[in-house]
Structure 1
Amino acid sequence: MLGRLILQSWRRQHRRRLLAVITIFLAATLVSALLAVSLDIGDKMARELKSYGANILIEPASRSLLPQLLGESVTVSLANQDALDERELPNIKDIFWRNNIMGFAPELDGELIWQGQRLPVLGTFFDQPIAVPDEPDYHTGQRSISPYWQVQGAWPQDAQPQLLAGQALASRLHWQVGEQLTLAGPAGSHAFTLVGLLHSGGKEDEQLLLPLAFAQQLLGRPQQVDRVRVSALTVPENSLSRKAREDMDALSAEEYDLWYCTAYVSSIAHQLEDALSGSAVRPIWQVAASEGVVIQKIQLLLAVVTLVALLAAAMGIASLMTSNLLERAKEIGLMKALGAELWQIGLLFYAEAALCGLLGGLLGCLAGSGCAWLIGQSLFGTPLAFNLIVVPVVVLLSMVIALLGTWFPARQIARLYPVEVLHGR
């Protein structure tokens, strides 16, 4: 009987029912698209924010700890006495969160002589292949972790005697791209080709940058590295990560396991310290904290827009159902006069609303997946993943807002007196 009443109602008022479905459909489309974006935007935004640079710094333990105990002046005396071993660098991609390591670049500082002038140099990887298990074509270096570097000309090849010059240094010495520079160091000399000018906005603007192997050879420091900058995908900090940051020993066994198995910047730094002997690893908090704040604010904005869409849809449904009640007043009065209970009449309205919510929610999920795909393509160049958990959530929300929109008109039904309605008042 209930099904026949619903079917007859849809036949007589199909335009109004279609309008209700469209209202819910639009809301469900927006909600499903925003949910899909919110679920996948963390990784996408984290990748985009890698343009800020590396967020983890690896140094020799003595250089990190002794200056704090004995003063900054000891850093200079330690410059050639302690270093990281280049042969351990592949261990960076052997930790639990190896897939979150976007790239890394070792750095070696020193001074070389050009035409009697001592110039600061930085040996590093630009796009160096590294032997990593299960990743036969893995390359890493400054090109991947420092996308904000602006290079006029070409990037050096790590296996060739090529270099970059900071724009400030090149301008002072009147260098141009293509010049041949002979650099001399404690362990010999070598001719290099200047292939590009670098503008980074940092100290690199006053340095010469050359492949790490050539810097080690000229400085007489084979297999040595002063520090390693690592770019890793991380999740924003919360109370657990801040607790671990303050005192790791205060974590319980369960908290430690959860912290270790979550991609916090502090847990990744901890694993890297275990992977590289004699190292001290610390997050670069200026970068790591800003990434977390940006992602959290974007997700909060998406949540607010979703809530507004749900409220707007609920108000639209309430308006439609109220006008529907006025049009069907005589029908409701007749059902009351024939002995229909109030809950039976309310059930009819709620069933109609739930059906509108179900149809609008399902259609909205289909349209929302397409919107999420377009958002991903336009903003990130890759489609966003549409998680299937979005479908039941959106359908349930669609039915809830349809039922909530029907609640006020259903209350009005109780105030209708059959004799007045049938009399036309």
Structure 2
Amino acid sequence: MLLRMLLQSWRYNIKRKLLAIITIFLAASLISALLAVSIDIGDKMAKELKSYGANILIQPASSAVLSLNNENKTALSAQDFLEQKELPNVKDIFWRNNIIGFAPLLTADVKAYHQNQQKEQYINILGTFFDHQIAVPDEDDYHTGQRIISPYWKVIGEWVDDMQEDNTAIIPALIGEQLAKSTLWHIGDQLTLYYKESDFSSKIQVQIKGILTTGGKEEQQLILPLSAVQNLLNLQGKIQAIKVSALTVPENELSRKARINADALSAEDYDRWYCTAYVSSISHQLEEAISGAVVRPIWQVAASEGVVIEKIQLLLAVVTLAAVIAAAMGIASLMTASIMERSKEIGLMKALGAYQWQIALLFYWEAVLSALIGGVIGCIAGWGLAKFIGIALFNTPLDFTWIVVPCVLLLSIVIAIIGTWLPTYRITKLYPIEVLYGRK
């Protein structure tokens, strides 16, 4: 009997049912897209935020007291260095697949002589990897450098090609924009760099290939391949620091406790922290892998990643809740109008002995069927919307996790039941005799 009444209701009231399906469809498509975005937004935003630079800095243990923003003015002969042969160890940790890339750093003040201007001046040089191939276990063609970890670097002219070791007589280099303006050096100019400390002295020939804009202190430096700077400074196989870019999860209470004192964590909390890709746990593992190093997260970058992702996910949650409320109100309006139209039918069912719960069950089933149909179609549309959002924001489609489908169907049913509850409650106020005589 219930099935027959449902079929008749859909047959003679199809327009209002379609309106209910469309209401559920719109809400379900938006909710499914937002859920897909919310699930995948962490990885996508983490990759996107990597454009703001590295989030981990590795230095010799003796450099731990130095500020990240201060240049080391100590004479090179009095400094401690990291060994370049330790670089592959960066990719030899539990979270190796989260390491996007890294770049070694070696800086010094040297004397530069410009051949056309016929004058000398002291400048700061930086030796690093631009896009350099390096032997890493289990990765045959691994290359890394500033072009990977610092995509915000903008070059007018040519990038330096240091994929392989280059032993040419003239070393290619990039010049920072501010240094270029202050020295009036241009692309194509050749310089001679001199370095002298104690009894050692050397020089190299450099040609400017491009002008670099970063918004940082690199704009005041001349940037060369690492090997060229090592040869100039007589520091073969030595580096001062390593910048690492890693995919991390946002900080939470556990990671903040570990940040203060990881040894104070319980065994269970320590294992959970160590096996989660927090910036602090990745830094801890890097410190274990690299001899004589202290590893510190660059908290300005790491903290901003977590804050941005959390705010975006909160915004998605608010929009999802608003969609649920709006859809429930739409369903309530449609069901109220349906009940008013079918008041005589309801009065007749009551007069024939139908129980209140039987009448309510009829309307709930109508709403649930509408919810299931609208929810399934909405999931399909939401999948397409999520792909579009991913391409528009990240130039790559977002992954649609199948757990979204049952979640959206469940929410669609909840929306339908919530929207049907108040109109169904009004059924209890209908008296058969008043309805059948047309008084209500």
**Structure 1: which amino acid aligns with 2:192?**
T
**Structure 1: which amino acid aligns with 2:157?**
G
Partner of 2:138: 134
Q: Identify if the C-alpha distance between structure 1 residues 79 and 305 changes in structure 2 by more than 3 Å, giving closer, same or farther.
A: farther
* CA deviation vs aligned residue, 1:331-354 (integer Å, no higher than 9, x gap): 111111111111111111111111
SS at match of 2:414: helix
Q: Following the alignment from structure 1 to structure 2, what is the Cα–Cα distance between the partners of residues 11 and 44?
A: 47
The alpha-carbon deviation at position 48 of structure 1 amounts to 1.1
Q: Following the alignment from structure 2 to structure 1, what is the Cα–Cα distance between the partners of residues 309 and 361?
A: 44
Which of 376, 381, 385 is matched with 1:371 structurally? 385
The answer to whether the 8 Å contact 2:194/2:203 transfers is: yes
Residue pairs, 1:378-393, within 5 angstroms: 378-393=392-407
**Structure 2: which amino acid aligns with 1:212?**
L
Note the residue ranges of structure 1 that are not aligned, 5 or more in a row.
none
SS at match of 1:282: strand
Judge which range, 407-416 or 75-84, deviates more: 75-84
The alpha-carbon deviation at position 7 of structure 1 amounts to 0.8
Which of 248, 257, 276 is matched with 2:271 structurally? 257
Q: Following the alignment from structure 1 to structure 2, what is the Cα–Cα distance between the partners of residues 290 and 306?
A: 24
The alpha-carbon deviation at position 79 of structure 1 amounts to 6.2
Which of 87, 108, 111 is matched with 2:109 structurally? 111
SS at match of 2:242: strand
Q: Following the alignment from structure 2 to structure 1, what is the Cα–Cα distance between the partners of residues 105 and 150?
A: 13
Q: Identify if the C-alpha distance between structure 1 residues 79 and 420 changes in structure 2 by more than 3 Å, giving closer, same or farther.
A: farther
Q: Following the alignment from structure 2 to structure 1, what is the Cα–Cα distance between the partners of residues 156 and 431?
A: 83
Residue pairs, 1:6-405, within 5 angstroms: 6-65=6-65, 76=74, 80-115=78-113, 116-158=120-162, 159-160=165-166, 161-186=171-196, 187-405=201-419
Judge which range, 328-337 or 201-210, deviates more: 201-210
RMSD in angstroms over aligned alpha carbons? 1.6
Q: Following the alignment from structure 2 to structure 1, what is the Cα–Cα distance between the partners of residues 219 and 421?
A: 67
* CA deviation vs aligned residue, 1:125-166 (integer Å, no higher than 9, x gap): 000112223332222111111122221111111244210111
Q: Following the alignment from structure 1 to structure 2, what is the Cα–Cα distance between the partners of residues 169 and 75?
A: 19
* CA deviation vs aligned residue, 1:51-79 (integer Å, no higher than 9, x gap): 211111100011114x69xxx99972576
Q: Following the alignment from structure 1 to structure 2, what is the Cα–Cα distance between the partners of residues 150 and 139?
A: 20
The answer to whether the 8 Å contact 1:184/1:190 transfers is: yes
* CA deviation vs aligned residue, 1:386-420 (integer Å, no higher than 9, x gap): 00000000000000110110000111111111111
SS at match of 1:123: strand
Judge which range, 415-424 or 166-175, deviates more: 166-175
The answer to whether the 8 Å contact 1:54/1:287 transfers is: yes
SS at match of 2:54: coil
Q: Following the alignment from structure 1 to structure 2, what is the Cα–Cα distance between the partners of residues 106 and 344?
A: 74
The answer to whether the 8 Å contact 2:88/2:137 transfers is: no
**Structure 1: which amino acid aligns with 2:94?**
F
SS at match of 1:235: coil
How many residues are aligned here? 421
The alpha-carbon deviation at position 173 of structure 1 amounts to 2.2
Identical positions, percent? 63
TM-score by length of structure 1 reads 0.96
SS at match of 1:331: helix
The alpha-carbon deviation at position 80 of structure 1 amounts to 4.4
Q: Identify if the C-alpha distance between structure 1 residues 79 and 343 changes in structure 2 by more than 3 Å, giving closer, same or farther.
A: farther
Q: Following the alignment from structure 2 to structure 1, what is the Cα–Cα distance between the partners of residues 30 and 147?
A: 38
Deviating above 4 A after TM superposition, structure 1's stretches of 4 or more consecutive aligned residues are 72-75, 77-80
The alpha-carbon deviation at position 99 of structure 1 amounts to 1.2
**Structure 1: which amino acid aligns with 2:354?**
A
The answer to whether the 8 Å contact 1:63/1:75 transfers is: no
Q: Following the alignment from structure 2 to structure 1, what is the Cα–Cα distance between the partners of residues 385 and 299?
A: 35
Q: Following the alignment from structure 1 to structure 2, what is the Cα–Cα distance between the partners of residues 129 and 149?
A: 19
TM-score by length of structure 2 reads 0.93
The alpha-carbon deviation at position 189 of structure 1 amounts to 2.1
